[in-house]
């Protein structure tokens, strides 16, 4: 008796347990799909950045600033820097804030427009082979994001308004842009034809003339900090410059990838949860199979099969089921991956490679099948200790007779409930499994619901994390600084509630370049980023982001030296803050405090907060009429919506996927449990029918033996999800310096999910337990 | 029909009808082959009788029992339980009917092995009886009367003997004062001592007026009945009337039954 005999037994087991096998296959298929997608995203993300940097010839550092007398100084810094490998400077036009059609809505974004014909080797306009491009005058080339989620096609009109003019160009094509290709950055880079550029120069005037510096460095990892610091400090100290940007490629890409990484991590964790559930289910199935086929095992053993051969048959049975599910699962994930890739591409502005990832596939396959076989081996161990005689006498004790749960004589509960509870206690092992599954799935669903809610409905928590100030408008003078007169005028504008100041500078702490925030009053800010201690109040104080403090080993109450443009000063640390901007490398001080580093500092921006119901766009229009071309205004509400909107579709998709999978898996498990239960308790149900119980009463008993467990799982999972999702976020975002998260939990959404899960479970329970209707008393006799 | 039948008829006039079948038929189909187990059966059973259904294997005894009790639906004909027509009822209506009118005792005992002995009885009692404390007291009293003390009542069916379990099953069947107690080979799985105690219990309740319909192929068991029906190929071919069981077997009663059975080719 060799392999053929084992195969025969394995096949007969699969055939006999068709629906259980199919249920397990569905779970394995689902888990391998989720695991493959999550793993391939996580694995590829690391090399993706390097690959794209090389492929698109992305410079290590870019900076753009208003063209003026200092431009030569900035170019000089780059030219003189010993590690500079290659650098290019070119003219650009900057449109501070403009509204454009994007998908079914409008977004507000800045545009950095470059002449397509300008020769450049760093981040050139690479025309992808096979991609259509339009011909003609006044063309604009947009980042791929506009095609993937913005709804634009080659030949469409691309229209925006600035400085009282409406500019309309024809979309000539799309290209990949690593740094300035999404709304999360200060401006989106576009290439335009010569005639379009001329039209822009004419319409936008002197103030819009910018220069873009692209720098490629030798040993960028070690040489980046210094030049970035020099450039940023020079731009910060410049009196004539308007808004400017210094962007390190690695930091920017890392920042862009943060959410995708978070979502991939969620997907991997969730897929492992599903794998865990599949293993639980398999263990349950093996136990049921062993108990049900005890006599068969006895017969096999009596006929000379060894324990190893019987275990081998079970191993083969589940191995075949695993393979039969895992292989189509991988094929299906390969089919699904382009859709996931599109979502990632839309978030990153870069084309995600959709080619099948063999490494992830192999890893997923080995993980799933390995765990599966491990559980089979572990669960089938007891076959060895069963003698043929014990097996033939159905020797395994399946019930625990130590006590009689819910004794009817003493119970005051309704009869169906009492009988249901009896069954609940009796099937305690199975119910513990069910409880853990429901609680785990509910937890992950609530986690995603909270993330989705905070991203799409009440984004205070997310904005606090990102660290952007929640004002209605941000206004900056095109030239010079914010003056007391400007502040006085703004405070008199109809509908203005308050004004605050918050500038972002560049500074050095130790060897680290940080974003140094400067404000005259942190208590007036809406976005509070300090999670421990307090923001600085006096000129000798500073608050640091937790990650900076950790890196330099300082605590609250310690002193820290901050350097700006060669000037250094010691400050007392008053608190720790957190924000994702600049990958969490942030310090904050008062305006008075910053005067020690830059005595002639004057604020460059002012945040305007409007009263409820006042339209920021109307105020911008009013200010533009009063001071045409003098002030740049950003509608912060719309701008924030645009930034968050980039991520919303991916998060919503993940939330729906996880919620749907949760409902599906719970239904699947209930189907399996009830089907097994009806088969195993057939005699009991037959006797109950003989006693006069109606099918509906027995179905209710089955429901009542499972629903309390589901209810408990839903409550525990829901409560834990609501209480500890913040901690899980901290765990996932810890590398970005996020140590404290306080997301809003929308109780009504959690309740709705809980009620839906229980209602669906009840419906499934009643539906599947309809099988008891077929059980007749006479079947007791015929058996 | 012989004289026994005639005298039976005279008795029948005095007894109210319990059950009546009209042209009762039951056919099973297996792989396209039809097997007519009951054929146009017209039968009347009476209240207070201990009716025994006998016949060789495959004669349709159990099928008849389950058709009479509303456990199974006949293919043709009608079953009237007093003035209730069972054949017009759906499964749920039959379930409700059974809980109020019938009690069952099976050969394989079929106690719910996941409940204590007492809970087995109460699971049946609480379906019908509203006053739970009274029902519980009654169940405990009845169990005690059949020799199952409080300790045994708390045990699970697998922890007691077959005879004890079958006595508990009879209590379960009687707890709702059914009009008819149906028993399918109630001693078939028991040893002789246990069989005796179970049969004594059935005779005792019959003596107290309980109608019993029992299927058996055991002559000693059949002796307890006062009306013996003999089934062959789905038809009652003859019946025997005996005096009510007086607590003891006597040779004359045994002879009459054996003659009856021998005549029918038993």
DSSP 8-state symbol, A57: T
Task: Classify strands B17-30 and B102-105 as parallel, antiparallel or unpaired.
Answer: unpaired
What pLDDT score was predicted for residue A556? 94
Which strands sit side by side in the sheet containing A165-175, from one edge to the other?
Answer: A157-162, A165-175, A139-143, A187-192, A105-115, A84-102, A209-217, A61-66, A245-248
The pLDDT assigned to B7 comes to 40
Partner residue opposite B123 with nearest CB, options A399, A691, A773? A691
DSSP conformation letters of A476-516: EESSS---HHHHHHHHHSTTEEEEE--EEEEEEETTEEEEE
Q: What is the largest CA-CA distance in chain B?
A: 53
| pLDDT band with cut points at 50, 70 and 90 for residue A689 | confident
Decide if B81 touches A, using CB distance below 8 A.
no
Nearest to B72 among A399, A684, A778 (CB): A778
Decide if B257 contacts B240 (C-beta within 8 A): yes
| Cα torsion A37, A43, A46, A49: sign | negative
Inform me whether the pLDDT recorded for A547 exceeds 50: yes
Which residues of chain B have a CB within 8 Å of the CB of A696?
92
Chain A CA closest to residue B159: A401
Task: Compare all CA atoms of chain B with the CA of A686 and give the residue at the minimum distance.
Answer: B110
Res A283 pLDDT > 50: yes
Strand B102-105 versus strand B180-184 pairing type: parallel
CB contact under 8 A, A695 and B91: yes
Chain A residue with CA closest to B120: the answer is A408
Give the pLDDT confidence of A288-322 residue by residue, as tens digits: 877 777 777 777 776 767 778 888 888 888 899 99
Q: Which residues of A touch B72 (CB under 8 A)?
A: 776-778
Closest Cβ opposite residue B95 in set A419, A687, A693: A693
Q: How confident is the model at residue B68 (pLDDT cuts 50, 70, 90)?
A: very high
Contact A170, A158 (CB under 8 A): yes
Q: How many C-beta atoms lie closer than 10 Å to residue A294's C-beta? A: 19
**How confident is residue A782, by pLDDT bands cut at 50, 70 and 90?**
low
Residue of A426, A777, A783 to mutate, testing the B interface (most B Cβ within 10 Å of its Cβ): A777
Residue-averaged pLDDT of chain A: 84
Residue contact B136–A684, C-beta within 8 A? no
Q: Where are the beta strands (DSSP E) in chain B?
A: 17-30, 33-46, 50-55, 76-81, 84-85, 102-105, 180-184, 211-215, 227-232, 235-241
Q: With 90 as the cut, is the pLDDT of residue B180 above it? A: yes
Interface A-B: count of C-beta contacts within 8 A: 98
The alpha carbon dihedral of A633, A638, A644, A646 has a sign of negative
pLDDT of residue A248: 83
Contact B66 A693 (CB under 8 A): no
Say whether A781 and B124 touch across the interface (CB within 8 A).
no
Which of A408, A695, A780 lies closest to B106 in CB terms? A780
Residues of A in contact with B136 (CB under 8 A): 408-409
Question: A399 touching B, CB under 8 A?
Answer: yes
A80 three-class SS? helix
- Is the dihedral angle over the CA atoms A768, A774, A779, A780 positive or is it negative? positive
User: What residue of B is the nearest CA neighbor of A418?
Assistant: B123
The pLDDT of residue A647 is: 67
B43 in helix, strand or coil? strand
Token pair of B145, please? Answer: 């009367």
> How far apart are the C-alpha atoms of A746 and A716, rounded to whole Å?
17
SS3 B78: strand
- Give the pLDDT confidence of B150-162 residue by residue, as tens digits: 999 999 888 898 8
State the pairing for strand pair A530-533/A84-102.
Answer: unpaired
Residue A444 above 60 pLDDT?
yes
Q: Which pLDDT does position B10 carry in this prediction? A: 46
For residue A394, name the pLDDT band (cuts at 50, 70, 90). low
User: Which residues on A lie below 8 Å from B115 (Cβ)?
Assistant: 404, 408, 422
Minimal C-alpha gap between B85 and chain A (Å): 17
Nearest Cα neighbor of A167 from A192, A131, A135 is A192
- Selected for mutation to probe chain B from A400, A691, A705 (highest B CB count within 10 Å) is A691
Provide, as residue numbers in chain A, all residues whose Cβ is less than 8 Å from the Cβ of B106: 690, 780-781
* Beta strands at B235-241 and A245-248: parallel, antiparallel or unpaired: unpaired
Q: Which helix (H) or strand (E) holds A159?
A: strand A157-162
From chain A, the residues in CB contact with B95 under 8 A are 689, 692-695
By CB atoms closer than 10 A (0-12, 13-18, 19+), residue A425 is: middle
In chain A, residues with a C-beta closer than 8 Å to the C-beta of B92 are 694-696
Quote the pLDDT of residue A5. Answer: 64
Check pLDDT > 60 for residue A115.
yes
pLDDT for A255 beyond 80:
no
Beta-strand (E) ranges in A219-375? 245-248
Q: Three-class SS string for B134-191?
A: HHHHHHHHHHHHCCCCHHHHHCCHHHCCHHHHHHHHHHHHHCCCCCEEEEECCCCCCC
Q: Is B61 on the interface with A (CB under 8 A)?
A: no
Query: Which residue, among A528, A465, A532, A538, has the nearest Cα to A502 in the 3D structure?
Result: A528
Does A422 sit within 8 Å of B91, measured CB to CB?
Answer: no
Token pair belonging to B27 = 């056919």
Q: Phi and psi dihedrals of A65, rounded to 5?
A: -155, 165
Instruction: Name the pLDDT band for A79 (thresholds 50, 70, 90).
Output: very high
Residue A75: Cβ-neighbour burial (10 angstroms; 0-12, 13-18, 19+): middle
Predicted pLDDT of residue A166: 87
* A687 contacts in chain B (CB < 8 Å): 110-112
pLDDT at position A780: 65
Rounded CA gap, A227 and A238, in Å? 16
pLDDT of A665 above 70: yes
Euclidean distance between CA atoms B9 and A268, whole angstroms: 82
Mean pLDDT, residues A465-481: 82
pLDDT at position B3 is 35
Residues in chain B closer than 8 A to A693 (CB atoms): 95, 99, 127
Does residue B62 belong to the interface with chain A, where contact is any CB pair within 8 Å?
yes
Q: How many CB atoms lie under 10 A from the CB of residue A616? A: 22
Strands A473-477 and A631-635: antiparallel
Residue at token pair 């007492």: B118
């Amino acid at each position: 008796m060799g392999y053929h005999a084992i195969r025969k037994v394995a096949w007969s087991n699969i055939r006999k347990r068709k629906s259980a096998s199919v249920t397990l296959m569905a779970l394995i298929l689902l888990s391998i799909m989720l695991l493959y997608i999550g793993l391939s995203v996580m694995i590829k993300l690391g090399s993706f950045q390097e690959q794209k940097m090389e492929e698109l010839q992305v410079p290590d550092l870019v900076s753009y600033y208003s063209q003026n007398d200092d431009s030569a100084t900035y170019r000089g810094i780059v030219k003189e820097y010993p590690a500079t490998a290659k650098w290019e400077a070119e003219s650009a036009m900057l449109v501070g804030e403009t509204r454009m059609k994007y998908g079914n809505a409008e977004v507000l974004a800045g545009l950095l427009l470059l002449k397509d014909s300008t020769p450049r080797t760093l981040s050139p306009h690479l025309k992808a082979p096979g991609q259509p491009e339009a011909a003609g005058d006044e063309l604009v080339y947009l980042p791929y994001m506009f095609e993937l989620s913005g709804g634009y096609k080659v030949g469409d009109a691309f229209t925006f308004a600035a400085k009282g003019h409406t500019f309309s160009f024809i979309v000539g094509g799309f290209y990949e842009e690593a740094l300035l290709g999404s709304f999360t950055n200060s401006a989106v880079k576009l290439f335009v034809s010569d005639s379009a550029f001329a039209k822009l120069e004419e319409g936008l005037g002197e103030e819009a003339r910018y220069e873009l510096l692209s720098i490629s460095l030798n040993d960028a990892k070690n040489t980046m900090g210094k030049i970035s610091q020099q450039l940023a400090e020079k731009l910060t100290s410049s009196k004539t410059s308007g808004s400017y940007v210094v962007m390190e490629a690695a930091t920017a890409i890392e920042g862009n990838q943060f959410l995708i990484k978070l979502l991939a991590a969620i997907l991997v964790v969730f897929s492992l949860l599903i794998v865990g559930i599949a293993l639980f289910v398999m263990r349950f199935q093996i136990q049921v199979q062993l108990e049900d086929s005890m006599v068969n095992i006895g017969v096999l053993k009596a006929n000379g099969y060894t324990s190893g051969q019987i275990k081998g048959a079970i191993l083969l049975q589940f191995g075949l089921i695993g393979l039969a599910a895992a292989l189509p699962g991988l094929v299906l994930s390969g089919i699904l991956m382009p859709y996931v890739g599109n979502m990632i591409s839309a978030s990153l502005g870069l084309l995600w490679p959709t080619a099948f990832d063999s490494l992830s596939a192999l890893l997923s396959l080995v993980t799933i099948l390995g765990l599966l076989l491990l559980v089979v081996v572990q669960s089938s161990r007891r076959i060895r200790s069963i003698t043929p005689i014990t097996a033939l006498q159905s020797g395994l004790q399946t019930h625990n007779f130590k006590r009689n749960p819910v004794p009817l004589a003493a119970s005051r509960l309704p009869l169906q409930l009492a009988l249901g509870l009896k069954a609940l206690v009796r099937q305690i092992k199975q119910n513990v499994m069910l409880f853990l599954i429901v609680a785990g799935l509910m937890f992950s669903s609530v986690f995603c619901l909270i993330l989705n809610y905070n991203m799409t409905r009440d984004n205070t928590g997310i904005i606090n994390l990102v660290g952007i100030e929640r004002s209605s408008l941000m206004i900056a003078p095109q030239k010079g600084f914010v003056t007391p007169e400007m502040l006085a005028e703004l405070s008199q504008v109809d509908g203005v509630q308050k004004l605050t100041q918050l500038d972002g500078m560049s500074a050095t702490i130790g060897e680290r370049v940080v974003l140094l925030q400067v404000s005259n009053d942190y208590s007036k800010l809406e976005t509070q980023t300090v999670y421990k201690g307090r923001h600085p109040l006096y000129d000798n104080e500073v608050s640091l982001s937790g990650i900076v403090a950790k890196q330099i080993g300082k605590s609250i109450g310690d002193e820290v030296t901050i350097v700006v443009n060669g000037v250094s000063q010691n400050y007392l640390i008053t608190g720790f803050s957190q924000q994702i901007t600049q990958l969490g490398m942030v310090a904050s001080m008062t305006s008075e405090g910053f005067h020690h580093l830059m005595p002639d500092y004057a604020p460059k921006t002012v945040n305007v907060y409007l009263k409820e119901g006042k339209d920021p766009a109307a105020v911008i229009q009013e200010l533009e009429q009063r001071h045409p071309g003098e002030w740049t205004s950003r509608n912060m509400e719309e701008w924030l919506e645009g930034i968050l909107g980039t991520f919303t579709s991916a998060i919503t998709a993940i939330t729906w996927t996880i919620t749907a999978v949760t409902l599906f898996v719970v239904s699947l498990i209930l189907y399996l449990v009830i089907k097994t239960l009806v088969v195993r308790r057939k005699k009991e149900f037959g006797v109950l029918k003989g006693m006069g119980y109606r099918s509906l009463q027995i179905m209710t008993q089955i429901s009542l033996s499972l629903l309390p467990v589901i209810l408990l799982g839903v409550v525990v999972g829901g409560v834990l999800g609501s209480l500890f999702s913040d901690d899980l976020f901290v765990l996932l975002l810890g590398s970005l310096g996020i140590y404290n998260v306080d997301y809003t939990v929308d109780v009504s959404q959690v309740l709705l999910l809980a009620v839906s899960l229980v209602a669906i479970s009840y419906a499934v329970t009643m539906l599947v337990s309809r099988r008891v209707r077929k059980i007749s008393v006479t079947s007791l006799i015929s058996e | 029909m012989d004289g026994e039948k005639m005298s039976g008829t005279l008795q029948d006039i005095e007894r109210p009808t319990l059950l009546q079948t009209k042209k009762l038929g039951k056919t099973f189909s297996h792989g396209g082959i039809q097997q007519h187990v009951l054929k146009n059966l017209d039968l009347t059973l009476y209240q207070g009788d201990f009716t025994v259904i006998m016949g060789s294997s495959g004669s349709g005894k159990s099928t008849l029992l389950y058709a009479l009790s509303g456990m199974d639906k006949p293919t043709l004909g009608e079953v009237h339980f007093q003035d209730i027509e069972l054949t017009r009822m759906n499964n749920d209506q039959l379930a409700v009917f059974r809980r109020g009118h019938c009690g069952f005792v099976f050969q394989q005992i079929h106690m719910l092995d996941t409940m204590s002995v007492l809970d087995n009885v109460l699971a049946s009692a609480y379906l019908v009886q509203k006053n739970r404390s009274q029902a519980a007291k009654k169940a405990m009293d009845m169990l005690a009367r059949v020799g199952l003390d409080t300790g045994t009542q708390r045990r699970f069916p697998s922890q007691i003997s077959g005879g004890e379990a079958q006595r508990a099953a009879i209590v379960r069947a009687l707890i709702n004062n059914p009009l008819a107690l149906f028993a399918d080979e109630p001693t078939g799985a028991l040893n002789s001592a246990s069989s005796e105690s179970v049969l004594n219990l059935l005779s005792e309740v019959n003596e107290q007026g309980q109608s019993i319909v029992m299927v058996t192929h055991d002559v000693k068991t059949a002796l307890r009945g006062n009306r013996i029906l003999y089934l062959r190929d789905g038809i009652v071919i003859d019946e025997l009337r005996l005096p009510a069981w007086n607590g003891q077997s006597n040779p004359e009663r045994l002879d009459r039954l054996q003659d009856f059975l021998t005549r029918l080719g038993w």
